[in-house]
Amino acid sequence: MTLLHSGQSQTKLLAQYCDRTSGFSFSVLTRVFGENLERPMIEIIVVEDDEILRNSLAVLIDDTDGFSCVNTYQDCESAIENLEADLPDVILMDIELPGMSGIEGTAKIKQKLPEVEIIMLTIHEDNESVFESLRNGASGYLVKNIEPEALINAMREVKEGGAPMSMQIARMVTDSFRKNPPQKPLSSRQQMVLKKLCEGKSYQAIANELYISKATVKFHIKNIYETLQVTNKASAVRVATQEKLY
């Protein structure tokens, strides 16, 4: 009996287990298993029906240290069918696809693999597409004219618990929040996490002080970002201060 899926390394499985269950960082793994333990790749799949763009994204990912494109698909149906074999960390998802749309596919993928991070990569910038994608579980929303370096940074950011968005999309989200501010947006636990975040505490420091795992802190912070309709720590702190949310 094997514990490894095809294409998975023991290093990645250890890192995933520690991050999702106990909150250990990769540095803890290296102290336990040795300094020569390789840092796990961020594994990506691309769902895009434009063959040239799909292949270009795969090359960009594979040519970047720390990233690996484990598969590409032209439709959601194929991506969902192979999801458990690929086990990606991050999915780059187009919206307008043959068959199932990327927005619908996002919801189905999050049902099957809740921990995967999905970044919408699209030409659509309308309110309905943005907010429906976020409601269905997307962690970020980028337009296709994004610079390659910015896209790599966005994939790294989302893996660290962030919610990357193109500037114009972030402005749209912020404007919507200003028009419809939440009345009681956060749970008591989220308020505690937000307070620590506003104090400048790191994810690990927050975890230690609240006696929860680092993975749980990331989960709370991602939900805080989504609830406040912000995309980064600075915006969350600004909204928390203005609205006196803790």
Average pLDDT over residues 57-64: 96
User: Would 20 be classed as within a structural domain?
Assistant: yes
Give yes or no for a contact between 18 and 40, defined as CB atoms under 8 angstroms apart. no
DSSP state of 232: S
pLDDT tens digits for range 73-119: 999 999 999 999 999 999 999 999 999 999 999 999 999 998 899 99
pLDDT tens digits for range 119-174: 999 887 777 788 888 888 898 899 999 999 999 999 998 988 888 888 777 777 66
* Residue 67: pLDDT band with limits 50, 70, 90: very high
* Residues 115 and 191 occupy one common structural domain: no
Structural domain count, the chain: 3
- DSSP string covering 180-225: S--SS---HHHHHHHHHHHTT--HHHHHHHHT--HHHHHHHHHHHH
Average pLDDT over residues 40-56: 94
* Residues 23 and 61 occupy one common structural domain: no
Among residues of the chain, what percentage have pLDDT more than 90?
Answer: 42
* Residues 110 and 189 occupy one common structural domain: no
C-alpha separations of 24 from 18, 38, 147, 207 in Å: 5, 16, 33, 10
Q: What pLDDT was estimated at residue 24?
A: 46
Average pLDDT over residues 59-64: 96
Average pLDDT over residues 229-233: 74
* Residues 115 and 151 occupy one common structural domain: yes
CA-based end-to-end distance of the chain: 50
In this predicted structure, which of 10-24, 142-156, 230-244 has the lowest mean pLDDT?
10-24
User: Would 2 be classed as within a structural domain?
Assistant: no
Phi-psi region of 2 (alpha: psi -120 to 50; beta: other; left: phi over 0): beta
Residue 140 DSSP SS3: strand
User: Would 202 be classed as within a structural domain?
Assistant: yes
* Residues 103 and 169 occupy one common structural domain: yes
Give yes or no for a contact between 69 and 92, defined as CB atoms under 8 angstroms apart. no
Residue 229 clears pLDDT 80, i.e. is over it: no
Expressed as residue numbers, the domain containing 36 is 9-40
* Residues 15 and 56 occupy one common structural domain: no
pTM of the entire predicted model: 0.62
* 244's tokens: 């006196």
